A and B are shown apart, each in its own frame.
Chain A
Amino acid sequence: MEGISNMKHSGFQGTLLHRIIARREITLLVIIVLLVAAVGIRAPRFLQPGRQLSILNDTIILLMLTLGQLAVILTAGIDLSVASNLAFTGMAVAMWNMMMPGVPMIVLVGASILIGASLGAFNGVMVAVGKVPPIIMTLGTMSVYRGMVFLISGGAWVSAHQMSPAFRGFARFSFLGLPSLVWIGVLTTGLVYLFLNHTKGGRELYAVGDNETAAGFVGVSATRAKIKAFVLSGAIAGLTGLLWVSRYASAQNDTAIGFELETVAAAVIGGVSIMGGSGSVPGVVLGAVFLGIVKNALTVIGVSPFWQMAIQGGVILIAIVANTLMDRRNQARLSMNGVSA
């Protein structure tokens, strides 16, 4: 069995350095640190704790949504309806609060998760059972759910004075020096991590996205995995809907419009393979943080808003190209190992 123990020819030998570079998370972390340092030198106020906290606050909702997006992308899908889901659920709970200010927050939290999960389940069932391509399905529901916001609101806003103090304060009350929004984000991240890495259901998302046929061979149901992913994405979108309207103390019809693309971008920057089967929670955290910092830094160092969008887009593009190149290198390594298509 000499040949088996002798692994010079296989990919996992490599030096320690190679293995670290191969870990995309570490590369991204280094880039983030360098970015923060560079911006800090240019504009020292960027490094002040207050500023950092505000970046964190801005990023946490993106992070949460991206975690849901991660689950869906792992199954080789995509969820473009998250921002509309967020807006609808946010509007729904805000109106409920406006009409019945006495309903306790815990009920609204439960309701937001449930509403979001149902919207996600609709996507999931249509994709997994109805075999509608995820991008088409969620492009459709992106509009449908957005349209539903207008329908229930009649085009009107729910503004701060129409919300109960408990509702307005929900995302902002401070605990151990950090706002509740951040704590909820941390908790969600932990739970998603636990789900994806330490439960059967979570691992099955990876299996289905990596090789659906093989998943079938070992009795893993692709249908159930896909529905699960969309439900999770929807549930998170619903919860962030509540958090969003609470934090900004206003529920609008165009809340978070276009935000779904930022979640996809954060996921891709974080190393999630758009082809499915590959991606991690730490990667997504870093991807969201990176995107959050870039957005903030551009403002802080005084880049004109006209340029900001183009630069942001450029950064996302670079990340995607880097991702593709890395995937291609992996492919090359595959064929070097003698695996033909």
Chain B
Amino acid sequence: MAEVVRLDDARKFFPGVKALDGVTMSIRSGEVHALIGENGAGKSTLVKVLTGVHSLTSGTVYVDGSSVSFRSPHDSQAAGIAAIHQEASMFPNLTIVENIFMGHHLRKPSGLLDWTTMKTRTSELCGRLSLKIPPDTLVRDLSVAQRHQIEIVKALSIDARVIIMDEPTASLSLKEIKELYELVRKLREAGTAIVFISHKFEEIFEIADTYTVLRDGRFVGDGRVADVTTDDLVRMMAGAALDRLFPERTPNIGDISLRVQSLRQAGVFEDISFELHKGEVLGFFGLVGAGRSELMQSIFGVRGRDGGSVIAGAVELKALRPQQAMKEGIAFVPEDRQEQGVVLDMSIVENTTLASLKAVSRFGFPNRRTELSTTARLAKRFSLRASSLLQVVAALSGGNQQKVVLSKWLATDPRILILDEPTRGIDVGTKAAVHSFIGELADQGYAIILVSSELHEVLGMSDRVLVMKEGRLVAEFDRDNAEAEQVLGAAIGATTAQRGA
């Protein structure tokens, strides 16, 4: 098969992060090419390079053998590369016809739009994929699966020779997934090259012909899917020994400080039971969408539950209100820092004392001096980089914003800390600072839950690792026997490594 697109020694650096560091990839027509790697391995950056959203720091993209540089998504489309971004790229209030032709409407000689031809073309393209949806239908009236199909039709309409599908099965039912496979096979037969990104190995073995594995932005290996086993792929994804530094510490595990029993929320997570001890870092690993964040939200009381109990210390949290959880010493640092964690337009001081206003108040009014001293103490502890404590949080870097969020919760004087993806999107230096800080807190006797999609972070930081998959706890590992491959395998469902508590 002919090579359509080739990446050669592609590098993409962001400040403090090497998102892609020497990746080589060859995409051939009539092939389904699986792009594999754990979260943060560089898959999304690679897709963004191919679709013209990011330009490379160094290295070359070849299309049909000649080197190109995409300056915008438009350039990449003109070269025949289309990506299916799910919802992000659709116009819900417009019809299928318009969604397909927006940006390259067909026109009559008079310059007016040629709706008749566009409709016919749409029906034709849909027909090629055996889709029977009236072209006048508004996209908001379509199911998720149908939207995917329309995205694929859209790719065909610009004669895409490379179609990138990023986790296309994530929100589809089994039947819909089968239909998607059908479509993918049809496209392959027609000579289209497909880049298929998935975390699910069953899918990769079912549909892909070739694969490329990335890890930490680096190329790890490629080849034919038929020549490898699941274990081989997991090994490549997980990598060898930890080459990153995590704080050394001797955990001093104490009494149980949080007990979760048979907690469930229908369709989100089921039958979750675990215990968290004083001085322990308990890692929660799983793929995106495994239900970890939702579980934490439910424990904290910002999300409902259908059954089960949460006991903090000796008190059962029944109220389903965060105020109660906070009162019992639970602090929750949510995943989405900007949406849930900080008030961007408020100052560092105001953000820091937001959750502990009572403690810094006298006669019901916040005492400025107490506020400042509390904030200064925490800022020093985190080596927060800011020109003044009165600076607005919006002006801080992502890492420093994260420090403000952590300060806010520590100001409430908690005993239990739930950290949901505490290092996502922050630079390497700050990451290390957050890591050593987490270790320090555990040593001081805090009980810590660390939710992370970064395998090595979970392994490096945790005293115990729980793995969630599709809303269930599927495995538990002690620090000593938590091997990267097995943990990842459990999260993906590739190996049967299940151990009792």
Contacts and interface: CB of A to CB of B under 8 A. Distances in A.
Interface stretch (B107-115, B374-382, B442-450): B107-115
Given A207-B91, A214-B88, A339-B87, A10 B141 contact: yes
Q: Which of A7, A217, A330, A333 has the most CB of B within 10 A?
A: A217
Contact of B73 (A7, A199, A216): A216
Nearest to A11: B141
Given A273-B93, A339-B87, A215 B130 contact: no
Nearest to B103: A218
A338 interface: yes
A12 B105 contact: no
A215 B146 contact: no
B182 interface: yes
Contact of A219 (B74, B115, B141): B74
Interface in B111-130: 111-113, 115, 130
Contacts of B107: 200
Contact of A214 (B89, B133, B182): B89
B171 interface: yes
A203 B145 CA distance: 26
12 contacts: A1-B131, A3-B175, A203-B98, A204-B102, A206-B93, A211-B90, A214-B102, A215-B102, A219-B77, A219-B103, A337-B142, A339-B147
B357 interface: no
Contact of B113 (A11, A199, A218, A273): A199
Nearest to A215: B102
A218 B94 CA distance: 14
A4 B91 contact: no
A341 to B, nearest CB: 9
A3 B176 contact: yes
A54 interface: no
B137 interface: yes
Interface in A188-219: 194, 197-200, 203-204, 206-207, 210-211, 213-219
Interface in A288-341: 330, 333-334, 337-340
Given A200-B113, A217-B73, A333-B141, A277 B130 contact: no
Interface string B68-97: 000011100100000001011111111000
B149 A203 contact: no
Given A200-B113, A214-B88, A215-B102, 7 more contacts: A197-B113, A198-B113, A206-B91, A207-B94, A211-B91, A219-B73, A333-B141
B134 A12 contact: yes
Contact of B89 (A213, A278, A330, A337): A213
A161 interface: no
Contacts of A4: 130-133, 146, 149, 179
Contacts of A48: none
B88 A330 contact: no
A15 interface: no
Interface residues on A, range: 35 or more
B140 interface: yes
Contacts of B147: 339
A330 B93 CA distance: 10
Nearest to B149: A4
B175 A10 contact: no
B143 interface: yes
B104 interface: yes
Contacts of A273: 93
B144 interface: yes
Nearest to B158: A218
A333 B137 CA distance: 14
Contacts of A1: 130-132, 179, 182
A14 to B, nearest CB: 9
Contacts of A5: 132
B94 A337 contact: no
B207 interface: no
B337 to A, nearest CB: 18
Q: Which of B72, B90, B102, B133 has the most CB of A within 10 A?
A: B102
A12 B141 contact: yes
A219 B103 CA distance: 6
A218 B102 contact: yes
